[in-house]
């Protein structure tokens, strides 16, 4: 049994790591740092377990917030959502949940499950369903592994709870998104509730440890940017200034583009990022430098700290990095679910610009 526990003192490092793996999305981590720190203070540290610690039929509850990041910073959760979801899930399965899992390690959704686990008195599984952030809920490794979405349970800030039995994960996304928008573009969601035996075939292990390691490096390294690039094995696409940001919030998503104009050794290089909550693609002179499912992060040029899509501002000094995704996303079904073709309209529209 792992003896690792997450305390309130780990939250800043975890948040830095999650923000980086969020590739611009998954929501700004700041509100979650406050909420999670408070939850850990109130309920005590959260034990971190690995899949090896769980029995085959232990029930795992993957949780995430769903909505537009620009809204999430203003319409805060009520705090009762995870408890309401757990009650519905346990009633449905007729047994207790053994561990919470972050559906998405990237961004706020990597941090919030720690607070939810603390509030529920449950351990957190050292794993997630993306290894990064993605904008839609069918884009998870459990879906690549063909684990059914099972009942999707969604709770909003008002106290409403929906149990969705959909024919597939695409319909789960469509319905959950519709409810999320109806509730002000902010809700908490459980999907792909599964046993540990199922999870062994379809989750990305070690995600929480990885986020903590990356965040600790950013806090402790003397020269964080080169240390980060070395740790990730990342390509350094550009360092420069944010020269343009075009963003709109629509249908529960943030869409748009951002342009980074190189400075110093990168003078003359201009990288355009295509966004849908996350950084989907980086282009230079129409040439694709990196694209989903690989990870693209915009980080502060000096501190290496990730800049979220909704925090991009004209004139910021940033570096753009890219690195390889988890191998599960390079499988044919992984690429079909979260490769460039899965983002057709956004990436297509950007091509025309």
Binding of a copy of itself by 232 (CB under 8 A):
no
Closer to a copy of itself by Cβ: residue 190 or 295: 190
Q: Which region holds residue 131: left if phi is over 0, alpha if psi is between -120 and 50, else beta?
A: left
**Least distance in angstroms from the C-beta of 85 to a copy of itself:** 11
Exposed (0-12), middle (13-18) or buried (19+): which is 167, by Cβ within 10 Å?
exposed
Termini Cα distance of the chain: 53
Using the rule CB under 8 A, is 158 a contact of a copy of itself? yes
| Separation CA 22–CA 277 (nearest Å) | 9
Is residue 291 part of the contact set for a copy of itself (CB under 8 A)?
Answer: no
Q: Does 175 bind a copy of itself (CB under 8 A)?
A: yes
Minimum CB–partner distance for residue 68 and a copy of itself (Å): 15
Could you tell me which of 323, 325, 324, 319 has the C-alpha nearest to residue 305?
319
* # residues contacting a copy of itself (CB under 8 A): 20
Binder of a copy of itself out of 51, 60, 164, 299 (CB under 8 A) = 164
Instruction: In whole angstroms, give the CA distance from residue 144 to residue 10.
Output: 31
Where residue 184 falls (left for φ over 0; alpha for ψ -120 to 50; beta otherwise) is left
How far lies 250's CA from each of 28, 67, 175, 312, in Å?
18, 11, 16, 18
Helix (H) / strand (E) element for 114: namely helix 108-120
Dig out the tokens for 178 from the structure.
């519709």
Residue choice 167, 222, 233, 352 for contact with a copy of itself (CB under 8 A):
167
Main-chain phi, psi angles of 280, to 5 degrees: -90, -35
- Please give the Cα distance from 114 to 11 (Å, whole number): 9
Which of 163, 195, 209, 263 touches a copy of itself by CB under 8 A? 163
Q: Of the candidates 15, 99, 162, 232, which one interacts with a copy of itself according to CB under 8 A?
A: 162
Asked if omega into 188 is within 30° of 0 (cis), the reply is no
Find the binding residues for a copy of itself in span 178-217 (CB under 8 A).
Answer: 178-179, 181-183
Q: Which is nearer to a copy of itself, 80 or 235 (CB)?
A: 80
Q: Does 177 bind a copy of itself (CB under 8 A)?
A: yes
Binding a copy of itself (rule: CB under 8 A), the pick from 165, 220, 250, 351 is 165
> What's the closest the beta carbon of residue 32 comes to a copy of itself, in angstroms?
25
Residue from 50, 148, 174, 335 touching a copy of itself (CB under 8 A): that is 174
Using rule CB under 8 A, residue 86 touches a copy of itself:
no
Please give the Cα distance from 186 to 180 (Å, whole number): 6
For a copy of itself, which stretch binds (CB under 8 A), given 100-108, 165-173, 241-249, 316-324?
165-173
| Shortest reach from residue 90's CB to a copy of itself, in Å | 14
235 binds a copy of itself (CB under 8 A): no
Query: Least distance from C-beta 162 to a copy of itself, angstroms?
Result: 5
Taking the complex as a whole, how short is the minimal distance between the CB of residue 182 and a copy of itself, in angstroms?
4
In the bound complex, what is the minimum distance in angstroms from residue 168's beta carbon to a copy of itself?
Answer: 9
- How far apart CA 38 and CA 48 sit, in angstroms, is 18
Which of 23, 37, 109, 166 is close enough to bind a copy of itself by CB under 8 A? Answer: 166
| Cβ at position 334, least distance to a copy of itself in Å | 25
d(CA 237, CA 295): 12
Rounded distance between C-alpha atoms, residue 284 and residue 279, angstroms: 14
Binding residues for a copy of itself (CB under 8 A): 88, 158-167, 171, 174-175, 177-179, 181-183
């Amino acid at each position: 049994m792992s003896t690792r526990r997450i305390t309130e003192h780990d939250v800043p490092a975890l948040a830095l790591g999650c923000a980086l793996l969020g590739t611009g999305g998954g929501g700004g981590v700041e509100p979650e740092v406050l909420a999670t720190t408070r939850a850990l203070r109130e309920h005590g540290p959260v034990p971190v377990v690995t899949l090896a610690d769980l029995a085959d039929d232990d029930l795992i509850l993957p949780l995430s917030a769903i909505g537009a990041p620009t809204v999430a910073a203003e319409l805060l959760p009520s705090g009762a959502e995870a408890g309401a979801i757990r009650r519905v899930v346990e009633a449905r399965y007729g047994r207790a949940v053994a561990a919470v899992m972050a559906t998405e390690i990237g961004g706020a959704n990597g941090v919030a499950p720690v607070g939810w686990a603390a509030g529920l008195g449950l351990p957190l599984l050292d794993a997630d369903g993306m290894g990064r952030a993605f904008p839609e809920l069918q884009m998870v490794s459990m879906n690549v592994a063909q684990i059914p979405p099972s009942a999707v349970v969604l709770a909003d800030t008002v106290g409403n709870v929906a149990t969705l039995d959909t024919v597939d994960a695409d319909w789960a996304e469509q319905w959950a998104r519709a409810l999320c928008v109806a509730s002000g573009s902010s809700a908490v969601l459980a999907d792909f509730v599964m046993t540990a035996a199922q999870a062994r075939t379809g989750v990305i292990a070690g995600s929480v440890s990885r986020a903590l390691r990356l965040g600790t490096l950013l806090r402790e390294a003397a020269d964080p940017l080169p240390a980060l690039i070395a740790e990730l094995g990342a390509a350094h696409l550009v360092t420069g200034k944010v020269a343009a940001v075009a963003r709109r919030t629509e249908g529960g998503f943030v869409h748009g583009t951002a342009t980074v104009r190189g400075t110093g050794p990168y003078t003359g290089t201009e990288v355009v990022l295509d966004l849908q909550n996350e950084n989907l693609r980086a282009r230079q002179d129409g040439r694709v430098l990196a694209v989903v499912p690989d990870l693209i992060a915009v980080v502060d040029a000096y501190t290496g700290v990730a800049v979220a899509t909704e925090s991009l501002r004209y004139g910021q000094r940033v570096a753009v990095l890219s690195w390889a995704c988890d191998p599960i996303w390079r499988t044919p079904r992984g690429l079909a679910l979260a490769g460039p073709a899965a983002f057709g309209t956004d990436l297509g529209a950007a091509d025309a610009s």
